[in-house]
A and B are shown apart, each in its own frame.
Chain A
């Protein structure tokens, strides 16, 4: 593949990843996640007693607050909050602490493309840091579709030209992480596929055909396997409090 992208990456290559945990001392869990220049800080508080008005008291309630880098909170931020809340609700075990509220606060430090996936990754790392019980982890990625149908991963904000074409659509995809298992291979399958083949969240913008979307899903899934390996390694380092940051290129 030609490296036609501005920063010299191949279409399948991700930007350098960096993850730090336990950076805010007063929050119960915190993490910062950066992909290239995009950086997001997430903090988790809870579980605290009591749920909000229209929430089910038999389950734990998750509340997400999105804080943009500049400007007031508007509809776009509310949409991001809603997407993140639904994603986090599907990875948390809500029945363990009924009638409690866990707050996730997301602060955008710098936006250079693929902001929502970066925020979801940061929130997941912060939830692990806070010790909230989770079914599995979530890893998120952004895939773009170019004019002629080729798929590019992890774009930056600068309008990208791959093979001289402009992007016409993109998708944010969130997958469960690859898990180690003591079960014999093939026993823990859902409808004949291992758990990592499922999709937790998918948000699409722009125009793309069904085949292009499925190509995005395949490429995204492969990249997420690498991301989940990186997340596991960064959690490994954090067990030893002297070094709470990890990098990968």
Chain B
């Protein structure tokens, strides 16, 4: 029932089912390394323990997370979600993103947004936004700016994004489809500013050809 491996090797647990309470990593044996923890894991002094049941995954060079499926959404930064506007305040829209608390969408967080052209959303409007900040204890913050706009200024393409994780891209030539696809895949872990820079670099390379 209980197996306690003699060394702190995490490889034994990767791709295995882990349940809350399992300790998957002993940090005292890895003094000089940085580890990134994703969802489902928590640091307890020198031990990394599991808080959600699922399969432990590892991606090089140093990221661990627990893969599990849930019905309730937990807001994380850099997630794209569909939200329904619940209320309007002077500085924020209150948006329901089906998480533990209502999220704020600042009135100026739109492409070319200024105090003069604030969009008017009524309660019940469906919007597609990105989560900017999602700290525990605070309401998540959203934004409507994204990288597709930067690409769209120079390249003509059609895109449909589904909540089941599939994205459909269509354009005149295959090279544009590939550029858009690469831009989307690369922007997964970048911040807003980094995404813009990355998109612009890709565009420059395309126009050089």
Contacts and interface: CB of A to CB of B under 8 A. Distances in A.
B102 interface: yes
Nearest to A91: B20
Contacts of A136: 20-21
A196 B6 CA distance: 19
A14 interface: no
Nearest to A96: B136
A49 B8 contact: no
A180 B18 contact: yes
A100 B100 contact: yes
Nearest to A97: B100
Given A131-B70, A135-B21, A180 B13 contact: yes
A179 B19 contact: yes
B66 to A, nearest CB: 10
B101 A99 contact: yes
A28 B23 contact: no
Nearest to B136: A96
B200 interface: no
Given A29-B71, A135-B20, A235-B53, A182 B25 contact: yes
B102 A49 contact: yes
Contacts of A226: 1
A196 to B, nearest CB: 8
B51 A133 contact: yes
B187 to A, nearest CB: 27
Q: Which size class do B's interface residues fall under?
A: 35 or more
B100 A47 contact: yes
A128 interface: yes
A179 B137 CA distance: 29
A183 interface: yes
Contacts, number: 121
A137 B19 contact: yes
Nearest to A49: B101
A130 B71 contact: yes
A188 B4 CA distance: 11
A25 to B, nearest CB: 9
A211 interface: no
Contacts of B26: 182-184, 187
B71 A188 contact: no
Nearest to A194: B2
A3 interface: no
A232 B55 CA distance: 12
Interface of B: 1-10, 12-13, 17-26, 42, 47, 49, 51-55, 68, 70-72, 74, 100-102, 136-137
21 contacts: A48-B100, A95-B136, A128-B19, A128-B20, A130-B70, A130-B72, A131-B68, A131-B71, A135-B21, A136-B21, A178-B2, A179-B21, A179-B23, A182-B12, A182-B47, A183-B8, A184-B4, A188-B47, A226-B1, A239-B17, A239-B55
